[in-house]
Amino acid sequence: MNFKMIGYLTAKIMLIGAAMLVPPLIVSFIYHDGCHIPFLITIAVFLLLSIPGFIKPKKTHMFAKDGLMIVVLAWIVFSAVGALPFYLSREIPSYIDCLFETVSGFTTTGSSILTEVEHISKSLLFWRSFTHWIGGMGVLVFAMAIFSGKDAKTTHIMRAEMPGPTLGKLASKWQFSVRILYGMYAFLTFVEFIMLLFGGMNVFDSLVHSFGTAGTGGFSVKNISIGYYKSPYIQYTIAVFMMLFGINFNIYYLLLVKKFQKVKANSELKTYLTIIVVATVVIMLNIYKIYNGFEMALRQAFFQVASTVTTTGYATANFDLWPQLSRTIIFILMFVGGCAGSTGGGLKVLRVSVLVKSALSAVRKSVSPKRVLTIKNDGRTIDGNEVEGVVTYFVCYVVFMFASLIVLSLDSIDLETALTAVVTTINNIGPGLGKMIGPAGNFHDMSVLSKIVLSIDMLAGRLELYPVLMLFMPEIWKR
Amino acid sequence: MKIIIIGGGKVGRTLVRNLNDEGHDVVLIDIKSAVVDAVGDAYDVMCIEGSGTDITVLEEAGVRTADLIIAVTEKDEHNVLCGIMAKKMGAGRCVARVRNPEYYHQLQFMRDVLDINMIVNPEYLAANEISRILRFPAAMHIETFAKGRIELVEFKIDKDSPMADIPLFKLYSDHKVRILVCAVMRDNEVIIPKGDFILHAGDRIYVTSTHIDIAKFINKMHVDNQRVKSTLIIGGGRISFYLARMLGELGIKVKIIEQDMDKCNKLTDMLPKASIICADGTDRDVLIEEGIDSVDSFVSLTGIDEENIIVSMYAKQNGINKVITKINRLSFMDIVEGMGIDSLVTPKDITADVILGYVRAMDNISKIANNEIRTLYRIVGNNAEAIEFRVYENPDIVGIPLKDLRIKQNVIIAAVAKGNKIVIPSGNTVIDVGDHVIVVTTGHLKHLNEILL
């Protein structure tokens, strides 16, 4: 481990942190909500932390583990320091709560400990949602778009931060790829913002909800989330954009360069859309009786499905009160997540389809043991190592979930609440099931230990387990 | 420039590293996912898993907009096919590695007919490098033109050199050497010399000619006081074959020790001038028996690095001055260099260097953007340019003897390649369409026409 180099690069990234706090600071000045002092202090802390980034170490060699380390470290420091504005403004009294809220923001989870969102200052609400936007595409990815990638082996960092089992480079240099990605990301966010404005939402709300959708985060500025806005236009717009942000961004690039054949051939996209359609139809039929009218049922079903499968976590209805079948489908969707290379969390459609396919081929093999089978994706054979990688990931994921569940059980909450709390945080969704943490509830009443564990789960889920799991390996800390 | 490299072996990786460092847009195509992963991890380049002869893969790599394709996979035929396909799909230029000696005599044909801009042969290049070291250790710098057939060599004039203090035209006529001094560096000033120019000790001169004529010139001028007369080569592989042939042409006595009888028979057939010994070249007694103490140069070219090093050290111990060692793996080169071995040669490095040189020259040219210029080197510490022009229809130059052309003061026509024939220009030389003309100038030229006043 080249700790000096890790420190140097992590410190350099802290500059981004300082820059990130400028927009909320401006918001604070616009609304005169008195939160500018906490923001200024936080900026100062970030700048202080970035000082080692100006002294370049002699040995600049880096390997995969160093890259992973930088990612985890940057995310932890960002969350810890990013929580300061909430704490210093005394609007969230407990630091652990602030941390939980910030981690939830950066990891685009959207689980909140706030019981009364509407009482919080505008600039803090803006900051909360802005962390979604930054965290969605990645903090370090953002850093890379700005800094020159010459002094770092950037691939390791990209691999750790970009969601999904495979990594698609758009241009031959990371810096260009990342700029293209962020460009498309910003553009889509802007389009949503404009469309929400047209729907009659005010500027602040449109902006905040666009951030929440783009990062597939889910923080709202209303206690009952998007349910506050009764306009079907707004609900449909947000639902459609959630769905769009759950799609692999490479697809948009392919559309941009007019390679439509490749988009058509993308099997992950097809699976993703099929899952949404099927789940929506089944839930709609199931909840038809509760709502008056076909349109209402369709809208509620579609919104909740899109929100869950992309791991956003917005809600227009309290799906916790839906019939059991619908609840179960929502629960299952929590695991699926968005497409690889999107801002969504969860297992990712690609992994799920590889898992299902490899399970099927195992069954076929048990019938005729000598049969040779390959697993294909997009017409290309996925080699054994890759399949094994996905399976191992899944195993780690399940084990990690169970471990967290055990710790949460100390809290003497019911199994449904504990289980869905873990599932919703590790998959970066937001609300769980049950009275306490359902769409109408929040995580405020959990114990401190549970909040810490769930924060780790959120980070682990966002960074796709390995970087966080690595921290628990003793040998990584030995020189 | 946008460069696509096909094949991520050692040469491929060296190219990826260097070209990426130089700021080019690099895409690597390799059939092995392990290679793709490793290179993708180590360098900031685009890596694509697949075959370089697969249209969809080439398409994905962006072959249509690529300036250069470099095919360096294991198989010659595959490389050539990659090159042809890429060219047909719209790539700017292509370089292919072809190493089979069977193709050696038809490389020119393949270049012309298959439209491959450059064919590199690592073994041939390595042999060329070794022969250069043996031929003129005094040469400080060498560039090649007209696909390697013309060399531009830099020398320093010593105090007692026969070249000093006589006018150049006398030098040419007295010694009957077919060379041309095309640039002189004196007191940090670059001079393009005319026939009445007098060289002084301490000058650095740039000489153009074919490598055979340059070798003859060196021998006549005693530039190198340790002329190599005989050499002992251990190992009878491809490099040995090319090397022995090159040295044979220069009149150097060559002895090759090779263990494999079949190889020995083949070599004897192909190299009538060389003596081929069938024995274990790493055996001390064999070396003594074959006269290791009577040769003045020694080249170890077995397939095993360690044997090469040990044998070279033994040769050095026996008082041989010029010892050249071939090394395939690069990691420990610095250790070996500290062990008293004169010259290390790494075929893969040489290949990569040659391709890199080509890319750099191409890059220089692309900044000028013109199809007349084939090669461009900046020489004499970037103070002069040596440019290879291809001659197109040009009534101002074609068909007129050089003495009747009014050429600029700071320009010299250093050599003319007429197909396979290399002409060192005199006043009566006539330039024809299709010739390649090497011009050295202290100014900048974009078109051949600009050599005229």
Q: Mind listing the pLDDT tens digit for each residue in B251-296?
A: 888 999 999 999 999 889 888 888 899 988 888 888 888 888 888 8
Q: What is the percentage of chain B residues whose pLDDT exceeds 90?
A: 11
Confidence label for A153 from pLDDT (cuts 50, 70 and 90): low
Indicate which of A172, A257, A386 best probes the interface with B, i.e. most B CBs within 10 Å of its own CB: A172
Secondary structure class of A104 (helix, strand, coil) = helix
Token pair for A205: 């709300």
Size of interface A-B (CB pairs under 8 A): 31
Partner-chain contact A171 B41, CB within 8 Å: no
Let me know if residue A175 belongs to a domain: no
**What are the backbone dihedrals phi and psi of residue A61, each rounded to the nearest 5 degrees, phi first?**
-70, 145
Confidence label for B322 from pLDDT (cuts 50, 70 and 90): confident
Let me know if residue A407 belongs to a domain: no
Residues of B in contact with A379 (CB under 8 A): none
Let me know if residue A275 belongs to a domain: yes
Total domains, chain A? 1
Partner-chain contact A64 B41, CB within 8 Å: yes
Give the model's pLDDT for residue B371.
Answer: 64
Confidence label for B374 from pLDDT (cuts 50, 70 and 90): confident
* Mean pLDDT of the A96-110 span: 92
Among the residue ranges A140-154, A239-253, A284-298, A321-335, the one predicted with the least confidence is A140-154
CATH topology of domain B366-451: Alpha-Beta Plaits (3.30.70)
Give the model's pLDDT for residue A245.
Answer: 92
Give the model's pLDDT for residue A136.
Answer: 86
pTM (two decimals)? 0.75
Contact A308, A423 (CB under 8 A): no
Give the model's pLDDT for residue B357.
Answer: 76
Same fold, B230-320 and B366-451: no
Among the residue ranges A61-70, A87-96, A364-373, B287-296, the one predicted with the least confidence is A61-70
- Please classify residue B70 by burial: count the beta carbons closer than 10 Å to its beta carbon, then call 0-12 exposed, 13-18 middle and 19+ buried: buried
Contact B217, B205 (CB under 8 A): no
Of B420, B421, B423, B418, the residue nearest B433 (C-alpha): B418
Least CB–CB distance from B46: residue in A149, A153, A171: A171
b/e map of A115-132 (b: 16 or more CB within 10 Å)?
eebeebbbbbbbbbbbbb
Give the model's pLDDT for residue A204.
Answer: 92
Residue A322: which domain range? 266-334
Confidence label for B182 from pLDDT (cuts 50, 70 and 90): confident
DSSP-derived secondary structure for A447-462: -HHHHHHHHHHHHHHH
Is the pLDDT reported for residue A477 higher than 80?
Answer: no
Contact B118, B36 (CB under 8 A): no
Partner-chain contact A173 B44, CB within 8 Å: yes
* Domain definitions of chain B by residue range: 2-120, 230-320, 366-451
Give the model's pLDDT for residue A244.
Answer: 93
pLDDT, tens only, B398-433: 888 888 888 888 888 888 888 778 888 888 888 888
Let me know if residue A421 belongs to a domain: no
Q: What is the percentage of chain A residues whose pLDDT exceeds 70?
A: 95
Give the model's pLDDT for residue A77.
Answer: 92
Is the pLDDT reported for residue A423 higher than 90?
Answer: yes
CATH number of B230-320: 3.40.50.720
Indicate which of B21, B41, B44 best probes the interface with A, i.e. most A CBs within 10 Å of its own CB: B44
Q: Which of the pair, A35 or B5, is modelled with greater confidence?
A: B5
Let me know if residue A274 belongs to a domain: yes
pLDDT, tens only, A190-244: 999 999 999 988 999 999 999 999 988 888 888 888 888 889 999 999 999 999 9
pLDDT, tens only, B54-98: 888 888 888 888 989 999 998 999 999 999 999 888 888 899 998
What is the complex's ipTM, to 2 decimals? 0.70
Is the pLDDT reported for residue A458 higher than 90?
Answer: yes
CATH number of B2-120: 3.40.50.720
Least CB–CB distance from B44: residue in A64, A167, A174: A174
Give the model's pLDDT for residue A371.
Answer: 85
Q: What is the percentage of chain A residues whose pLDDT exceeds 90?
A: 43
* Mean pLDDT of the B386-406 span: 83
- Average pLDDT of the residues of chain A: 87
Bridge-based pairing of strands B253-258 and B343-345 is: unpaired
Of A461, A247, A214, A469, the residue nearest A350 (C-alpha): A247
Contact B313, B341 (CB under 8 A): yes
Confidence label for B329 from pLDDT (cuts 50, 70 and 90): confident
Is the pLDDT reported for residue B336 higher than 80?
Answer: no
Contact B4, B61 (CB under 8 A): yes
